Amino acid sequence: MNETTNNGGQKVNALEQAKVIVSQLGRNNLLAISGGRVTYRETGITLPVSYGYSVTIDLENDLYIVRRVFKRGGKVTIKGEVKGVYCDDLGEIAYQAHAYKSYEFPRQLEEGFDCSTGRTYPLLVSRKGDK
């Protein structure tokens, strides 16, 4: 894998960056989503789910992009995407992305506000009919 630069302009190995994503995702979420299978890419990681579905996680400007991807016959379709995910919420959003039979992705998001940090974050809202 090639080296990339982080926000400070320092060279970072893409494999090391992917390992950081996996550690922030959490071991239990990783096992629940893909059974521990991880494919490292230059921009992030791919977690294969089943039946052609996978979850991709990419790092962009200290925030994550989580996608539900469907691949069949060489054709790749993005079935859902959430941008601007903080590392605290990465495990929950990735778990929701993997559950293609149970959840629409992305679920209806509203912004919440954390008084202690002063930042806004995506808030998952249940809709009628969600399991």
> Two tokens at 91?
């495990």
Query: Cα dihedral sign for 41, 56, 20, 43?
Result: positive
| ∠ CA 52-56-62, rounded to 5° | 175
At residue 39 the predicted structure's pLDDT band, cuts being 50, 70 and 90, is very high
At residue 122 the predicted structure's pLDDT band, cuts being 50, 70 and 90, is low
Q: Which residue has better confidence, 5 or 70?
A: 70
Mean pLDDT of the chain: 81
The pTM (predicted TM-score) of the whole model is 0.74
